[in-house]
Amino acid sequence: MANEIPFPLYHKNASKNTIQRALDTTLFFLLISLLFYRLLSLKTHGFVWLLAFLCESWFTFYWFLIVNAKWSPVDIKTYPQNLEPRFPELPAVDMFVTTADPVREPPIMTVNTVLSLLAVDYPADKLACYVSDDGCSALTFYSLVESSKFAKLWVPFCKKYKVQVRAPFRYFLEDPISISAPNFEFKEEWEKIKVEYEHLCLKIKEASRKSAPCNLTHDFAVFANIETGNHPTIIKIIGENCEEDVPHLIYISREKRPKYRHHFKAGAMNVLSRVSGLMTNAPLMLNVDCDMFVNNPQVVRQALCQLVGRESERDMGFIQYPQCFYNATKDDPYGNQMVVLMEYIGRGIAGLQGPPYAGTGCFHRRKVIYGVWPDNAASINDYEAMKEFGKSEEFLESATHALKGEKGIRKSISDYLEASFQVAACDYEFGSSWGTKFGWIYGSMTEDVLTGLNIHKKGWKSNFHFLDPPAFLGCAPTGGPAAMTQQKRWATGLLEILVSKSNPIVFTLTGNLQFRLYLFYIYLLSWGLTSVPELCYAALPAYCIIANSHFLPKVQDPAILIPVAIFVTYNMLTLREYLKVDLSFRAWWNNMRMARITATSAYLFGVLTIVLKLLGLSDTVFDVTQKNDEASEDEDDDEINGTAKFTFDESPIFVPGTTLLLVHLTALLSLCLGLRPLVHKDGQGSGVGLGEVLCSLWVVLCFRPFMKGLFRIGKYGLPSSTIFKSTSLALVLVCLGTASWA
């Protein structure tokens, strides 16, 4: 009798994208044509022509990298209903939540994320939730203790009524009748739990207003006179799964001392890996940021469909879910929702070796994090393991079981509390390979990308999984300062990887990183480098007007059709991408202008930070992005109504954009006043070309939020210090341009 075909767990289907490929290829050949034209006419033009050629060469190369990433899109279809028939004994999952600042990351936000994880649709005895608090905040600990009491009501309620949204702050926004059938029992329980949640929020809010959230006695005594950057390890078992109804909940604040490097989030994640390895040692790990709650309660089962099974076990390293946002402002005014990026680049690289690790919403195999290569059995002796994993014998035992795929004999998690303090100490990693060979890799503020790159170079694959509804929902930065801070941190961290020994060039030559994925990583890590050609190219039209020069073919020259065709094709192509995913024209425009603003502002400061670091003049500093509490009472009316105005602060990050705008306004004003002549209609003689004028107007249009900021006050206006610095720089640049004309 033939063997029965097992129930499928997932399928990966290639998507047809003929039109997309044709448009992408057309634009690429137009860019190549422009470069050939520049080369052929380079001798008859000056420095401006050469600078334009260099910028356009970078844009062409960068577009090639983008096309490579988009070329092979796939869709993943999972069948979670087939999971338990094939694997009755489901694997355990350890869930990690990271937070670092109770002010910028409000504890009620962390609480909702934790509650959504505890209530996920999965056996409670198979789950454990670990919360890393790098801010060592008594308020965060207090909030988790109070939320654990509420969880005993919330988790059974969610599972009893199959609640879809399991973060209370989102669930209670809807009317109970619209959620479920209006039966008396459900409505009574709904009202009871809503009152309990409101009481929980009130207690946390009142605690946040006090200098100390509660009496610092008993379990809270360790927080008395605590210093954020100088304190011992604090590990508290808030809830232990004794009755198998609510998963374990453990609070961790690792030891910090001024003389030790703590490696930002990567260091916290490695401590979570070791402590969880001692206490529960689940073969799978999920990590989320404190603002990213579970939006699809089936997400664990969905991920398992791609992680379990003989074939998947052999090559699938991690499953990454896209970042989606619950506080998405209408039309994405800050250009940070990344919908189109995820849709096209994300699906495209899923058809290669797989997407990079994005730092949140990701399921990992513990043995992959511990450094195992595909198809390699763990075969290390005790001495080597001790040297690699540190000096804890208890952790060595748990790591050995994890590497060999064995469960081991687990005791109560409280029995491992003493050993957990040892592996969370500052000096535990000395002499080990944590952060270098395995774990979350050190050396970049974007530790997620570096860790994923380290996994990919060993030959592991990954998948990018879109779910409906989305698996997780997070909080997008709102306001100019928060958005720019995040983009600067990303650009800095990515460039740290590019200039390090862990760059993808090395991994392609010495590891198993596929060539096309190598090209994608070059695209990703080069985000910051785009600032230099972007800024130069954006300044060219104004310079040409001021210096009475030109960087574009003249209007009567047939070659003018090449840059015109590039401009039209690129904008039509990108607009088509936005419309295909049901975004508006306004969203497309917002993302186009923010791409210019981000590149010439945040990315530029990322490059400067790396240059200073390489010169040994300064080191990188991790800036926590300000998260907005959804329940905040001081939201702006424009944000509540679904719109948003661009906001500013006194950060120097807004100086380059303001300077660029002022230079262009000065150039256009000089043209209007007749101080600079336009080229004659017949194209003969000197003068400013029409192409340069239109390009200058386009730049001004892109930086329109900055122009509005010149005339507004408060957070919607540019600070006087920024205007003064930018005006001074603009005057210098205008004088230099005028001198070159003279």
- Long-range contacts of residues 43-48, Cβ cutoff 8 Å, at least 24 apart: 46/549, 48/540, 48/543, 48/544, 48/547, 48/549, 48/550, 48/551
Report the C-alpha gap between 161 and 164 in whole angstroms: 9
Q: Is 634 a catalytic residue?
A: no
Find the catalytic residue in 101, 133, 332, 448.
448
Q: Is 148 left (phi over 0), alpha (psi -120 to 50) or beta?
A: alpha
| Other C-beta atoms lying within 10 Å of the C-beta of residue 530 | 21
Report the C-alpha gap between 452 and 439 in whole angstroms: 10
CA dihedral 219→224→226→231, nearest 10 degrees, is -50
Which of 557-574 are b and which e, b meaning 16 or more Cβ less than 10 Å from the residue's Cβ? eebbebbeebeebbeeeb
Report the C-alpha gap between 243 and 237 in whole angstroms: 15
Residue 249: strand, helix, or coil: strand
Q: Is 121 a catalytic residue?
A: no
The residues, any chain, with a CB within 8 Å of residue 300's CB and separated by 6 or more, are: 93, 120, 121, 122, 127, 286, 363
Find the catalytic residue in 134, 289, 291, 331.
134
Beta bridge partner(s), residue 93: 127, 284
Task: Establish whether the linkage from the previous residue to 469 is cis, with ω within 30° of 0.
Answer: yes
Check: CB of residue 131 under 8 Å from CB of residue 309: no
Report the C-alpha gap between 672 and 688 in whole angstroms: 12
Report the C-alpha gap between 398 and 92 in whole angstroms: 14
Q: Give backbone dihedrals phi and psi of 99, rounded to 5 degrees, phi first.
A: -140, 155
Residue 472: strand, helix, or coil: strand
Check: CB of residue 319 under 8 Å from CB of residue 307: yes
Q: Of 379, 434, 19, which is closest to residue 267 (Cα–Cα)?
A: 434
| Other C-beta atoms lying within 10 Å of the C-beta of residue 7 | 12
The residues carrying an active-site annotation are 134, 448
